[in-house]
């Protein structure tokens, strides 16, 4: 127990939560069309849907809110944020956006110069993939095969498959690659980190082929912490130094600041030195997000973000953050529940293909386990599997995910170890009764990003 880092903060304000009865949970889930996204949060006891914008701000951030300068153009708050982002990244240009997908909708179309282009990523995050497709390009994932061997230890399961990356570039032609997107940590693979060695190799390839390298860095601080812990030669460096080395490898940084920005809303675009691209984005951002010095954020949001970005690089904070995830993972493994091992930076990914092998991929095994966990304990997880992956944009067939994951996403600075013990206890019970879990069929399916709004019925 005492192998785990201690929390470097105490509780100053509480938000009451309550567990409604089993009958009420059954009704709530039915009303939600058997899709946890559609539940009311007050019907949820422990909310592990996402770590996005769900964390607790520090009292320094709450104090900073009061300094917000609510000017449309050129506010003090903008300049404070800009200075912080420049210092952390070493990049010359930056623009705030309302959240990560705001950054994507502004930047991704600017990188596409002709028809039939591709983006290559270790794994595209779902909204990133959607923006690539909406902009008329195609998204190719290129992660190492060890990523999907959930029981085998690998320190950097988020890594690019370097050989495959070169093959894809050869096959498609470098002039048809709109960009290489390094997702750090690799969210869809289990918040798995990418090593500095791997990022350096990707950067070299990108430079060689004159392809832009983009960091999708919602969790760059957690990734940098893993490098310090697990990669040779980084023990003596600070996490901030490692982050700076990471940014030096790429050209563009897109961030959902609702993760390692430790805020409830916000995002960033930063560009290393390409003034022409910056000007194009400044034009594109106005109708999409807002004027370039606020990009959909209030002055107070930018103030809170400037403070949060610094706090997320604090190494005591990161040690506890990463150990929270490890603690939940260890409890589940002791209980026999198959998970992505080792645990990554923001969530425990449960391997539902192994829990309910009797449910075929197009009846969404992980979604079925998510629902069972909600009924068992009022816990809301999220599916990261064939439901999320959607349909092939060309053939419209359901795509089979490599892994049917249920993600237990831990909000930052929010739950205690006791909450995590309760989650483990409930999930172990679900696991023991796994043969009773049934697959799902659609009663409603939207054409894009269907997992957010879909409705289902259990298959009797």
Ligand X SMILES: *Cc1c(COP(=O)(O)O)cnc(C)c1O
224 near ligand X (CB under 6 A) = no
Please report, as residue ranges, which positions from 115 to 134 form the binding site for ligand X (by CB under 6 A).
Answer: 125, 127-128
Question: Of 84 and 183, which has the nearer Cβ to ligand X?
Answer: 183
Are 25 and 374 within 8 A, CB to CB?
yes
Nearest to 307 by CA among 365, 262, 242: 262
Cα–Cα distance for residue pair 332/155, rounded to 1 Å: 19
193 near ligand X (CB under 6 A) = no
Q: Which helix (H) or strand (E) holds 269?
A: strand 267-271
Are 235 and 285 within 8 A, CB to CB?
no
Single out the residue of 55, 68, 100, 411 in contact with ligand X (rule: CB under 6 A).
100
Stretch that binds ligand X, among 8-16, 254-262, 404-412, 420-428 (CB under 6 A): 254-262
Q: Catalytic annotation on 274? A: no
Nearest to 90 by CA among 251, 198, 207, 211: 251
Q: Catalytic annotation on 72? A: yes
Single out the residue of 183, 246, 293, 409 in contact with ligand X (rule: CB under 6 A).
183
Please report, as residue ranges, which positions from 388 to 427 form the binding site for ligand X (by CB under 6 A).
Answer: none
What are 119's strand-pairing partners?
Answer: 139, 179
Are 199 and 217 within 8 A, CB to CB?
no
Please report how close the Cβ of residue 257 comes to ligand X at its closest, in angstroms: 7
SS3 369: helix
Q: Catalytic annotation on 259? A: yes
Please report how close the Cβ of residue 52 comes to ligand X at its closest, in angstroms: 5
Single out the residue of 218, 325, 370, 406 in contact with ligand X (rule: CB under 6 A).
218
Cα–Cα distance for residue pair 123/190, rounded to 1 Å: 11
Of the candidates 218, 250, 368, 372, the residue annotated as catalytic is 218
Question: Of 25 and 321, which has the nearer Cβ to ligand X?
Answer: 321
* Cβ neighbourhood burial of 241 (10 Å; 0-12, 13-18, 19+): middle
Single out the residue of 129, 258, 321, 403 in contact with ligand X (rule: CB under 6 A).
258
Of the candidates 126, 161, 251, 301, the residue annotated as catalytic is 126
Single out the residue of 5, 49, 81, 101 in contact with ligand X (rule: CB under 6 A).
101
246 near ligand X (CB under 6 A) = no
Question: Of 101 and 228, which has the nearer Cβ to ligand X?
Answer: 101
Nearest to 374 by CA among 17, 19, 15: 19
DSSP line for 373-393: HHHHHSEE-EEESHHHH-B-T
Please report how close the Cβ of residue 10 comes to ligand X at its closest, in angstroms: 28
In the numeric block, the tokens 């049934």 are attached to: 438
In the numeric block, the tokens 């050989």 are attached to: 163
Stretch that binds ligand X, among 244-252, 255-263, 313-321, 450-458 (CB under 6 A): 255-263
Are 189 and 223 within 8 A, CB to CB?
no
Residues that bind ligand X (CB under 6 A): 52, 99-101, 125, 127-128, 183, 187, 216, 218, 256, 258-259, 267
Residues with active-site annotation: 72, 125-126, 216, 218, 259, 451
């Amino acid at each position: 127990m005492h192998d785990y880092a201690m929390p470097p903060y105490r509780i100053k304000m509480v938000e009451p939560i309550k567990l409604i009865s089993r009958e009420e949970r059954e009704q709530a889930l039915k009303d939600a069309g058997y899709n946890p996204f559609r539940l009311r949060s007050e019907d949820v006891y422990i909310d592990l849907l996402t770590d996005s914008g769900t964390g607790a701000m520090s009292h320094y951030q709450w104090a900073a809110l009061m300094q917000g300068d609510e000017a449309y153009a050129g506010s003090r708050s903008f300049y404070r944020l800009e200075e912080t982002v420049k210092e952390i990244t070493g990049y010359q240009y930056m623009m705030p956006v309302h959240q990560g997908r705001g950054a994507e909708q502004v930047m991704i179309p600017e990188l596409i110069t002709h028809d039939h282009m591709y983006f290559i990523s270790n794994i595209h995050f779902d909204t990133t993939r959607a923006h690539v497709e909406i902009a008329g390009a195609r998204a190719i994932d290129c992660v190492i095969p060890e990523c999907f061997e959930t029981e085998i230890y690998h320190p950097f399961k988020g890594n690019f498959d370097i050989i495959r990356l070169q093959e894809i570039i050869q096959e498609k032609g470098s002039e048809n690659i709109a960009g290489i997107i390094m997702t750090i940590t690799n969210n869809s693979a289990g918040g798995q980190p990418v090593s500095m060695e791997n990022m350096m190799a990707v950067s070299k390839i990108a430079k060689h082929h004159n392809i832009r390298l983009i960091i999708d860095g919602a969790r760059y601080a957690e990734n940098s912490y893993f490098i310090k812990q697990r990669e040779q030669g980084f023990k003596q460096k600070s996490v901030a130094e490692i982050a700076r080395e990471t940014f030096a490898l790429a050209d563009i940084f897109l961030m959902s600041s609702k993760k390692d920005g430790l805020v409830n809303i916000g995002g960033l675009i930063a560009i290393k030195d390409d003034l022409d691209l910056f000007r194009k984005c400044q034009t594109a951002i106005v109708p999409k997000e807002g004027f370039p010095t606020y990009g959909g954020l209030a002055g107070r949001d930018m103030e809170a973000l400037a403070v949060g970005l610094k706090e997320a690089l604090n190494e005591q904070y990161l040690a506890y953050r990463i150990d929270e995830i490890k603690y939940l993972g260890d409890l589940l493994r002791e209980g026999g529940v198959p998970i992505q091992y080792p645990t990554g930076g923001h969530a425990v990914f449960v391997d539902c293909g192994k829990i309910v092998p009797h449910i075929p991929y197009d009846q969404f095994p992980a979604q079925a386990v998510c629902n069972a966990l909600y009924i068992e304990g009022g816990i809301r997880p999220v599916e990261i599997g064939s439901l999320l992956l959607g349909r092939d944009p060309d053939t419209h067939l359901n795509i089979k995910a490599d892994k049917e994951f249920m993600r237990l996403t831990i909000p930052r600075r929010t739950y205690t170890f006791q909450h995590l013990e309760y989650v483990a206890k409930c999930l172990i019970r679900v696991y023991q009764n796994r043969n009773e879990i049934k697959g799902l069929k659609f009663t409603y399916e939207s054409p894009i990003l269907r997992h957010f709004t879909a409705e289902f019925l259990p298959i009797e």
